Structure 1
Amino acid sequence: MGLHEPDAVEMKQVAAMFGLHPLAVEDSLTDHQRPKVEPYDDMLFVVVKTLWYVEERDEVESGQVSVFLGQDFVVTVRQGAGVSLAAVRADLEAREHLLGFGPAAVAYAVCDRIVDGYEEVAAELEADVDEVEASVFSQDRTQDTQRIYVLKREVAEVRRAVQPLRVPMQRFAAATYPFVPAESANFFRDVADHVTRVTDVVETLDMLLSTAFDAHLARISVQQSEDMRKISAWVAIAAVGTLVAGIYGMNFDHMPELHWRYGYAWALALMVGASLVLHRVFKRSGWL
């Protein structure tokens, strides 16, 4: 049985029909649960986060699927838009050898489809991180701080969904949970391998974003230093003319150049010549 955002009344009826534990029912109605697997006396309760990538906003959205797994029943409760489970039934019908595992086959198909969505999201985030790295290390002056922060937040969203599943999926792969036959272990092992791979990708992306952020700050610091050197160089060049004008503007009586016929031209030539010399010196030293 599959339910999408049922209300409390509907869930109460389903719980009475299949004998679901009330604590698990309560958790299934809340869409902010941590991914987990909880064995009860006569059922297994599984919570898995669904993830999908919104291209228009470069964001990762999340939902939740709760699975009640019993000896002869499976009930799924989906919160949020998330991954559609309509294709799970068709997939199981196409792979008839899975049906022999009973309700565990449905749990495997649901987890496999959701984890495949994790890989798609991770691939999209990898592309975004590559774009950020190219922007950070380009020659252009870019403002990547906000983009890096947003991506780190999205990576954290994926980590919160994937990381808690590593140990439960390994236990599924070892068939240590009730209602999970040993014959299904190989299929759950494939899901566990995908979860591990996505977890490694997420950790790598987070590390790359931290490195890109540090590099971006370092580039900003270097650019500011270069700006200060250029400003200082131009101030020094302007100071030469100010110095010459200040000296000859003191109007002392005994300053021969003040009454010299070519004094004005000499002062201008001195200002221009000294400025050109300083400009050349700063240019050679890389300050301009």
Structure 2
Amino acid sequence: MDRSAVRSGWPRRLLPTLLARLRGRLDGEPAPTPRPSNPDAVVDCAVYVAGRREPGRPHYADAYARARRNRRSFVWLGLHEPGAAVMAAVGRTFGLDELSVAQALADGHRPTVQRHGEVTLLVLRTASYVEHAELTDTSEVVDTGDVLVFLGDRFAITVRHGAAGALAQVREDIQRRSGLLAEGPWAVGYAVCARMVDLYLEVAGHLERDLERVEESVFARDRSADIQHIYQLKREVVEFKRAVLPLPAPLRALLEQRAGGPPPALHRWFVDVEGRLTRAVDRVGAYDDLLNSILQSRLAQLAVEQNNDMRKIAAWAAIAATQTAVAGIYGMNFAHMPELGWRYGYAGALLLMAAAAVTLHRLFRRSGWL
């Protein structure tokens, strides 16, 4: 190549590539095929060396090839609702078995920790609080989803289903902690677990405020809370329980593993996650008990209100019965009845009916029926 062309503006970083292509063509080798771009399901892909992210966003196959050449490096591939073709290609590249690929395509998993050969699978439920002005019969309070974390020797693959639990912030936060990332793919597993537990505690705080508002409305003077609203909130709490309550057991089993678990340097970080998860579990259990109490209290209030209504109806029926009795007696068409010929009989009958009504009304008011 003419050196004058280089001095006239050719970028020096292109020289090795051009020379390699020229050598290949002179030797009769075909030109290399460019690697296609990452599929749309790929949220991010990066290679980390000694806890530092390498520049660029390579194709996941190239990234994994680079990570395997360096013992202190690994690749983190983030996927969001991948299709069958994309997940099958990812499985072939990273050596995932057929069951792992099938699990990554489905959602609605129960939180668990599984071991597939040399790959550890963490299954977590995501959760986020849905803001709402007021609680209604159809209000969505908690939105849940799934995140699966595949941890291998040189890779971490996160597969997320649903809108809740985005992991972009997780990646940004853990990239600032190069010491943790230097521990390898398990640092990604810790970061995802910690983020999910933080979301659980955040959602629990919002649910607590909703419960306080419902409790206030139940025991207020006007008692504006409908039982349908309480039941809807209880359903949302049950959905949240399905995300939180099954997780402590597999997380504890993960910490007790002697082989194939997190490295010793990350063990205490996972213990911290377990402690915060216990707080979330305790709060969710308390919310469920409180909602049961609120629901039972509201049902008792409704029973008392219905009883009061029945007493009022019975009291007014008794008052009306006296009037009906007097009018019925004097409405009978018999020739010989007392006071039929009395001049003030009509006024006397009305006075008797009014006196009976007033007397019964006072008696019922004094007894609390009216």
TM over 0.5, yes or no? Answer: yes
Which residue is equivalent to 2:263? 181
* 2:105 is the counterpart of 1:29: yes
| 2:143 counterpart of 1:67 | no
C-alpha deviation, 1:271, in angstroms: 0.7
User: In the alignment, is residue 3 of structure 1 matched against residue 79 of structure 2?
Assistant: yes
Which segment drifts farther, 248-257 or 216-225? Answer: 248-257
Distance between the aligned counterparts of 2:239 and 2:217, measured in 1?
Answer: 23
Return the alpha-carbon distance in structure 2 between the equivalents of residues 225 and 15 of structure 1.
Answer: 66
Determine if contact 1:226/1:287 at 8 Å carries over to the other structure: yes
Q: Give the count of matched residue pairs.
A: 288
Structure 2 residue aligned with 1:113:
195
2:128 corresponds to 1:52? yes
Percent of pairs identical after alignment? 51
Q: CA RMSD in A?
A: 1.8
What is the TM-score when the length of structure 1 is the normalising length?
Answer: 0.93
SS at match of 2:166: coil
Shift in Å, 1:179: 4.3
5 Å-filtered alignment, 1:55-204, equals 55-56=131-132, 57-142=139-224, 144-174=226-256, 176=258, 178-204=260-286
Does 2:114 correspond to 1:38? yes
Deviations 1:84-138 (A, max 9, x none): 2112222112223312322111110111111111111112222222222222222
Alignment of 1:220-231 (within 5 A): 220-231=302-313
SS in 1 for 2:339: helix
Amino acid at match of 1:207: D
> How far apart, in 2, do the equivalents of 1:103 and 1:132 lie?
44
The CA deviation at 1:30 is: 0.4
Task: Tell me the SS of whatever aligns to 1:11.
Answer: helix
Q: Which has the larger radius of gyration?
A: 2
For the 8 Å contact 1:50–1:64, the answer to whether it is kept is yes
Alpha-carbon offset, residue 176 of structure 1: 4.1
- Determine if contact 1:172/1:185 at 8 Å carries over to the other structure: no
What do residues 50-77 of structure 1 show as CA deviations (whole Å, max 9, x unaligned)?
1112123342111111111012211111
Moved more, 132-141 or 210-219: 132-141
| C-alpha separation in 2, matches of 1:249 and 1:164 | 76
Greater relative contact order (CA < 8 Å, ≥ 6 in sequence): 1
Is the 1:115–1:195 contact (alpha carbons within 8 Å) kept by the matching residues of 2?
Answer: yes
Supply the distance in 1 between the matched residues of 2:229 and 2:267 (Cα, whole angstroms).
41
1:20 to 96, 100, 105: 96
Aligned AA (2:105): L
Structure 1 unaligned spans of 5+: none
Contact kept in structure 1, 2:319 and 2:357, CA below 8 Å:
yes
